[in-house]
Amino acid sequence: MAEKISVLISEDEVDKRIAQLAEQLSNEYEGKVVHFIGVLKGSVFFMCELAKKMTVPVTMDFMSVSSYGNGTTSSGIVKLIKDLDESIEGREVILIEDIMDSGRTLSYLVKILKERKPASFKVVTLLDKPERRVVEIEPDLTGFVIPDRFVVGYGLDCAQKYRNLPYIGVIAE
């Protein structure tokens, strides 16, 4: 079945905003090595673009959690599927998220990662849907605040499809 996707945030807008975020973070972490932690699979595209534009050295690791089934509604349960390969103790950690929705995934990750004693810890998300929050938690840096719509592209999927779209889109109803 062919669904119609309309553009919410264009490729050009996303790229420009990521360049701004990279500049801001590079200034903040001047003289340091930052350790990006990506949450698979959604944050991969954002993480790579951001890393490419950083002017300080960046190391990377990945985790995988699940909070959603294959559809568009939250199960409310966060499960750790893949843990980090390396220790984060004493490192300048930046957790990279694709989107913050209820905040459940992030609050779970922040809790377990802060216990591992990083030197510093920040959360950067490409998208934020603050209207949907059920857990009180805010990212340190956000690409775009968006309305309560289910979005796809730039890493975000609907039943594993559309991650490869170079823009942020919404599936037309």
Catalytic residues: 101
144 binds ligand IMP (CB under 6 A): no
How many Cβ atoms from other residues are within 10 Å of residue 144's Cβ? Answer: 16
120 binds ligand IMP (CB under 6 A): no
Compute the least distance from the CB of residue 150 to ligand IMP, in Å.
4
Furthest C-alpha separation in the chain? 51
Q: State which of residues 25, 50, 126, 151 lies at the interface with ligand IMP (CB under 6 A).
A: 151
CB nearer to ligand IMP: pick between 58 and 63: 63
CB nearer to ligand IMP: pick between 3 and 89: 3
Residue 151 partner contact from Mg ion, ligand IMP, none using kind-dependent CB cut-offs of 5 to 8 Å: ligand IMP
Residue 67 partner contact from Mg ion, ligand IMP, none using kind-dependent CB cut-offs of 5 to 8 Å: ligand IMP
Q: What would the two tokens of residue 170 be?
A: 């919404």
Compute the least distance from the CB of residue 2 to Mg ion, in Å.
25
Question: What one-character DSSP code corresponds to residue 149?
Answer: -
CB nearer to ligand IMP: pick between 34 and 78: 78
Mark residues 7-46: x for contact with ligand IMP by CB under 6 A, - for none: -----------------------------------x----
* Spatial strand order in the sheet of 120-128: 74-82, 58-68, 34-40, 92-100, 120-128, 141-145
CA angle 88/103/138 to nearest 5° reads 75
Strand partners for 170: 6, 151
Alpha carbon distance 89, 14 (integer Å): 32
Sign of CA dihedral 33, 95, 163, 138: negative
Q: Provide the binding-site residues for ligand IMP, judged by CB under 6 A.
A: 42, 67-68, 74, 97-106, 150-152, 156
